[in-house]
Structure 1
Amino acid sequence: MIVDKYAEDRLAAAFGIGMSAVEGLGVGAAWGRVVPGGRTEPHRHDETELFVIVSGAGEFLADGERHPAPAGSVALFEPFEPHVLANTGEEDLVFFTQYWRDASRALRQAVRPPGRSGFGDRPVFVLSTPPTPNGDLHLGHLSGPYLGADAFTRFQRMNGARAYHLTGSDDFQSYVADLADRQGETPAEVAAHYSAEIAATLALMDIPLDQYTVTNVDPAYADGLRAYFSRIAASGAARPKETAALFDPDDGRYLYEVDVAGGCPGCGAVTSGNICEECGEPNVVVDLADPKATASAAAPVPGAVVRFVLPLHEHRDFVLTHHREGRVPARLRELAARLFRRDSLDIPITHPSGWGVAPAEDDVEGQVIWAWPEMAYGFLHGIQRLGERLGEDWSAADPQPDWKIVHFFGYDNSFYHSILYPVLYRAAYPDWEPDIDYHVNEFYLLDGGKFSTSRRHAIWGKEILSTDTVDAVRYFLSRTRAEGARTDFTRKTFTEAVDRDLIGAWQGWLNDLGRRIEAGHDGVAPDAGNWTPEHRAFYARLGRRLDALTGALGPDGFSLRQAAAELDGIVADARRFSTSETLLADGGLADDARTGVALELAAACLLAHVAAPVMPRFAGRLAEALGLPEPRTWPRGVELVPPGNKITLAGSVFFRPVAPDGAEA
């Protein structure tokens, strides 16, 4: 017999509270205490964990929902299920916990079953970084946040989630004002022109948006932004402070972002002011090595200015805790750890400028709210605008705990999205605990160099996109997407992939299958007959492809590169299978042969459904050629095409050759 009692003097710090281990029970066990107003650190682990609330009162926070935890209640958390226990009472909350490893249970939880979004009925807001309207979108842009967010949203909807894709036009960027100066236009004119171009390019890319916020023309945007900023100012998290700044030696203009360049204080690479695209670290302009004013290439004049400044270093523990709650790739966690090794980091969040939204506070007259902190509000404003159209009570001033936010952005924006924005949200809405997942892509290169709007080193979306090329572009960008490392686009590899893989392999197999069905089955889908071991093995292999694609497009393991590889894998499996199966018909084994054809049709049916998030037009055309409706739900298994369906694969053209310049041939 083992007897153990709660003893306050045995408690030691663990998970942000006091805990003491209980030995000898055969499973992990411990007593725990949460003091009034306290809570455990957010965490998840591979063990199954059981909580018994012994005394006090509190609540469990899990997946954006709150669950009462009075004395006498029991709660079980599955492996990897995030959870927090908070004390909401006036006395200590004492609990007993047991936890144990069950490999099969953990594996089931790690691999989400097909057909489940993982988000329940919560609204899922998929946010791609609003593009700067100083140029149209090129393939580098499209391959990253926008294609990723679109495929993610499509997959979630096929699995029953209330998912919405939101972005907008980031009109108040300094880069817009810079281009306007060089072109002799107003910033509003430049922003309006390119915002419309960007929206048109997204439409050509088959990226429909549920909300596209144009910040300079939305009538409620500026006032909402001011109210949001005033919340931050009132919290004391950001406050007016005189700090060093740089000024142009010729005209005395304040320098930041595009107006100044120098060596990054973090990695030494040449960078513009405020952020380094190479290492992802911010700078405060005065810490640039050998800075130069871009207008004159002369050394700036040092000075000082009063701006609203956010002492980011004061929020280190909060940011690192936030990163334990959601999906935060190692790349982002490493950036945060590297950044917080600095002793201090004061980030100005207002700047002297005539282009932007001025805060209500008169401490910084002649300044505007910096476009990057502004964007944090812009996302919430977009959610409110979407809610107004849908009849939902979503307010930018009152974000809700059940909102699931999923960010898609490039690595050069990582600091803003994953470090700065959580701190700003905490300051503006201290009672809101945002549930955010982060998906980051690296730079997509063009012929070995960075895509660049300002240098016009780019293939613009409108150069290459058409009704006949859009699926090929989406496929190739998915297949070569810069996930974890930079990748390269060349026109030669793109045209070769279309000719060899999409036309030669995919379309070649589907057309051949259609011809065999016309010749042997009067152009209709046959019913399966006798199943051989090879048939069963192929059917099981298709099931494994479905599982792999479910994981590749799901929220935890999202990877368009892996998804494209699995789509190629379905086609490769089917082509190998058909090579041997065609011998059965020639050998007079009709019952076996029609099973093989039925299974190839099952592979085509599976391809139509699982390709839909990546290649929606192709998926619809393929389903139509199989006599099926447009794919709208994610398959739960591998299904045979109904016998008797009219099959028109033989004459179907799914892909067309592209010219060496990437356009339709």
Structure 2
Amino acid sequence: MTGSGGPARPAIVIAATPTPNGDLHVGHLAGPYLAGDIYARYLRAIGRSVIYTTCTDDSQTYVVATAAKRATTPQALCETSTAAIQRSLTAIGISMAGLPPIDERYRQSVLSFVTRLHDEGRLRARTVRLPYAEHSGTYLFDGLVTGACPVCLAGSCGGTCENCGHPNSFDELLDPHSTLDPAEPVSYREHTILVLPMEDYRERLSAYFEAREDRWRPHSMQLIRELLAGPLPEIPMTMPGDWGIAAPFAETPGQILYPWIEAMPASMYSTWWAAGQQGEQQPEAFDELWRAEHGAEVVYFHGFDNTYHWGLMDLVLLMAHGERYVLPESNVCNEFYNLDGAKFSTSRNHLIRGTELLADTPRDLVRFFLALTAPEYQRTNFTRQALREVTEQRLVEPWNALAEAVSLLMTGRAGTTLATTPAGRARAGLVLARLRSCYELGGFSVARAAETIADQLARLRTMAEDGPAEPGDLLLEVRTLLAGAAPILIGLAEQATAAGLELDLSAEPAGEVPVFELPRLAFHHQSLDNPTAELITRTPALDGAV
């Protein structure tokens, strides 16, 4: 389903805010960014107004940790990483207006959002114990500290465990060590910060998830149930630190806003900025398009390890503003994408960067393979050999064979139209409905969409090469498949529409179809020994994973 507001309902699609501690790798792209792009493109194809956006998460401690490791400054790392992230998003065809600047308008948006909660009395002062690096005098949290998860005992950074998804705030991480200097002695010190108590919103949270349970994937929903079954944590709103936005509250002098609470005002600011970039009317207030009276359908795309943040913490931050904001319709969560059996990781240098892969493989092939192997319900694995073999066998070779067969069948018929039969229109309708069900929010699955495209392509190739009884039916079904594949195979769709072919995902199969030339797919890979594929020994995690 696309929401209760019907086809005219505006949509805001948010991909997890990337941490600018390096470029996006293929694991990132196969997760929230490509899936969010496919959903946004589908909504536009059926006539919905869509803003698809995100922004970099500059305040994260992972930036500080990575900058120290690379002997640079956090600011310099943010600048180079943001430029690299934008190049990767552009290279794979992510249909965003760009990454908005993290400037004074951004900071004022975040402060406005948080200050309203403070002024309305939603925040509480709490004295908590925090890990403390004795020599440097640094309070350790999130990417500055590593240890063992108190729930599953896996290695984890502070904040949340990427393995089980549970939070580990304040002094909960077992055997903590500084990521800046693992040998530095770590003790605990008490510090008074501001928090937002989640328990104040338990009743509303329970009702929210009960109404939307069928729109969540099972693993993430299991984590939400586990969290709701026990005492809900308190959200840190401020922390002692010197990288981030200075907290403006008299109760917490010298503190910063906790980096993770920026995600909601950052998403609102990004939506405001993107509206102007898309040529739409840009409201005066940064949060206007998120206000409840506009009824936007908000959908988040993120990884399982961010389920606590995007699924619970950020939801409470919206609820704490009363009825001011629309709440998300769904969180589409992906699992980890492995590279040769181990999780993609920027800080471990176990990765293939998106721009490197796209430098030697055509964009449509990359999008198809990442969609087909997307880690939607469980971890999946990427290898260059599989990319080469699968795209050649299931996409390029059958697609180009179909294009050649159609071209031969239509010789001498250019500029004409062909009639279709009820049977042909029925088949086209079935394919269209099947693909639309893959893109609709209730059963959203880019893997199932890519599988459907490959299956239908094989069927239509056989139909064309055997000589169809009704050539008009073949053309109609080919055009329907191309329209249904357009959110994934964006290059093919652009070529077809530039040639005048109408690709409509909302129209009923037509009684006649114009003769057209089906565009071909390019196929080019460099050697599987391409030196740009980085497969380097893993080291302890520093990722702010999306």
Q: TM-score, normalised by structure 1?
A: 0.74
Give the whole-Å Cα distance in 2 for the aligned partners of 1:299 and 1:135: 29
User: In the alignment, which residue of structure 1 is the partner of 2:398?
Assistant: 505
1:393 lines up with 2:283 in the alignment: yes
Q: CA deviation at 1:143?
A: 1.0
Please give the alpha-carbon distance, in whole angstroms, between the structure 1 residues aligned to 2:141 and 2:324.
34
> Which is worse superposed, 369-378 or 202-211?
202-211
Q: Where does residue 439 of structure 1 map in the other structure?
A: 332
Match of 1:589?
Answer: none
Deviations 1:457-502 (A, max 9, x none): 1110111115961000000011011111111111111000122112
Partners of 2:287 and 2:521 lie apart in 1 by 47
Query: Hey, what's the Cα distance between the residues in 1 that align with 2:493 and 2:232?
Result: 52
Give the alignment partner of residue 263 of structure 1, picking from 141, 145, 148.
Answer: 148
Give 2:200's aligned residue.
314
**Partner Cα separation in structure 1 for residue 276 and residue 500 of structure 2:** 36
Farther off after superposition, 117-126 or 360-369? 117-126
Task: Report if the CA contact (8 A) 2:198-2:234 is conserved.
Answer: yes
Work out the CA distance in 2 between the residues paired with 1:137 and 1:117. 35
Equivalent residue for 2:356? 463
1:392-411: CA deviations, max 9, x gaps?
43633554211221111111
Q: C-alpha offsets along residues 109-162 of structure 1, whole Å, 9 cap, x if unaligned?
A: x7x8xxx99643332111111111110011111111111111111111111111
**1:445 partner SS:** strand
Q: CA separation of 1:565/1:538 partners in 2, compared to 1, >3 Å: closer, same or farther?
A: farther
Q: Which runs of 5+ in 1 are unaligned?
A: 1-109, 583-591
Alignment correspondent of 1:654: 521
Per the alignment, residue 144 of structure 1 pairs with 31
> Which residue is equivalent to 1:449?
342
1:636–1:209: structure 2 CA closer, same or farther, 3 Å change rule?
same
Alignment of 1:380-529 (within 5 A): 380-388=268-276, 390-393=280-283, 395-397=285-287, 399-401=290-292, 402-466=295-359, 469-518=362-411, 521=412, 527-528=418-419
Tell me if the contact between 1:546 and 1:637 (Cα under 8 Å) persists in the aligned partners. Answer: no
In the alignment, what sits opposite 2:176? 291
Q: Partner of 2:539 in structure 1?
A: none
Q: CA–CA distance in 2 between the matches of 1:608 and 1:560?
A: 15
SS in 2 for 1:161: coil
Are 1:173 and 2:60 an aligned pair? Answer: yes
In the TM superposition, what are the counterparts of 1:140-219 in structure 2 within 5 Å? 140-210=27-97, 212-215=99-102, 218-219=103-104
Conservation of the 8 A alpha-carbon contact between 1:528 and 1:598? yes
Asked whether the 8 Å contact 2:194–2:237 carries over to 1, the reply is yes
Aligned residue in 2 for 1:598: 472
Q: Match of 1:97?
A: none
Instruction: Determine if contact 1:273/1:284 at 8 Å carries over to the other structure.
Output: yes
Q: Which has the higher helix share?
A: 2
| Identical positions, percent | 28
Report the residue type matching 1:338 in the other structure.
E
Task: Tell me which residue corresponds to 2:260.
Answer: 372
Matches of 1:245 and 1:317 in 2, distance apart? 30
Amino acid at match of 2:494: G
**Which residue among 542, 547, 552 is the counterpart of 2:433?**
547
C-alpha separation in 2, matches of 1:622 and 1:165:
24
CA shift, 1:388, in A, is 4.9
SS at structure 1 position matched to 2:66? helix
The equivalent of 1:615 in structure 2 is: 489
Equivalent residue for 1:64?
A: none
Counterpart of 2:488 in structure 1: which amino acid?
A: V
Query: After superposition, where does 1:122-133 map in structure 2 within 5 Å?
Result: 122-133=9-20
Tell me how far 1:555 sits from its aligned partner: 2.2
Q: CA deviation at 1:361?
A: 0.3
Contact persistence 1:359–1:368 (CA under 8 A): yes
1:329-358: CA deviation from partner (whole Å, max 9, x where unpaired): 443332222113333523323222111101
How far the C-alpha of 1:314 sits from its partner, in A, is: 3.4
507, 513, 528: which one pairs with 1:636? Answer: 507
Q: Residues 260 and 239 of structure 1: is their aligned pair in 2 closer, same or farther, counting only changes over 3 Å?
A: same
Instruction: Please give the secondary structure, in 2, of the residue aligned with 1:199.
Output: helix
Whichever residue aligns with residue 291 of structure 2, its letter is: Q
Read off the aligned partner of 2:348 and give its amino acid letter.
R
Deviation at 1:375, TM superposition (A): 1.1
- TM-score, normalised via structure 2 length: 0.89
Match of 1:26 in 2: none
Q: Is the 8 A contact 2:405 2:464 kept in 1?
A: no
Q: Distance in 2 between matches of 1:211 and 1:623?
A: 24
1:506 deviates by 1.6
Q: In structure 1, what is the Cα distance between the partners aligned to 2:394 and 2:92?
A: 21
Contact 1:148–1:408 (8 Å) recurs in 2? yes
Q: Does structure 1 conserve the Cα–Cα contact (< 8 Å) formed by 2:300 and 2:328? A: no
How far the C-alpha of 1:382 sits from its partner, in A, is 1.8
Q: What one-letter code is carried by the residue in structure 1 that aligns with 2:304?
A: Y
State the Cα distance separating 1:180 from its structure 2 match: 2.1
Q: Cα distance 1:397–1:515, how it changes in 2: closer, same or farther (>3 A)?
A: closer
Equivalent position of 1:569 in the other structure: 455
Distance 1:431 1:138 in 2: 36
- Structure 1 contact 128–146 (Cα < 8 Å) conserved: yes
Asked if 1 retains the 8 angstrom alpha-carbon contact of 2:126 and 2:194, the reply is: yes
Is the partner of 2:167 in helix, strand or coil? coil
Tell me how far apart the structure 2 counterparts of residues 393 and 460 of structure 1 sit (CA, whole Å). 36
- SS at the partner of 2:153? coil
Deviation at 1:309, TM superposition (A): 1.9
Distance (Å, rounded) in 2 between the aligned partners of 1:662 and 1:383? 41
Over 3 Å counting, the alpha-carbon distance change for 1:394 and 1:117 in structure 2 is farther
- 8 Å Cα contact 1:130-1:169 kept in structure 2: yes
Structure 1 residue 191: deviation in Å? 0.5
Following the alignment from structure 1 to structure 2, what is the Cα–Cα distance between the partners of residues 640 and 199? 44
- Mark the structure with the bigger radius of gyration: 1
Q: Deviations over 1:485-535 (max 9, x none)?
A: 1111111110001221122212122222213433xx466667349x6xxxx
* Matched residue SS, 2:104: coil
C-alpha offsets along residues 62-98 of structure 1, whole Å, 9 cap, x if unaligned?
xxxxxxxxxxxxxxxxxxxxxxxxxxxxxxxxxxxxx
Shift of 1:264: 0.9
SS at match of 1:169: coil
- Equivalent pair of 1:552/1:562 in contact (CA under 8 Å): yes
SS at match of 2:374: coil
- Residues 207 and 366 of structure 1: CA distance in aligned 2, closer, same or farther (over 3 Å): same
* Alignment correspondent of 1:337: 225
Distance (Å, rounded) in 1 between the aligned partners of 2:510 and 2:346: 46
**Residue identity matched to 1:489:** F
Q: Are the counterparts in 1 of residues 21 and 81 from structure 2 also a CA contact under 8 Å?
A: yes
One-letter code aligned to 2:378? A
Contact in 1 for aligned 2:424/2:477 (Cα 8 Å): no
Alpha-carbon contact 1:539-1:638 (below 8 Å) kept? yes
Kindly state the Cα deviation for residue 305 of structure 1 after the two structures are TM-superposed: 1.0
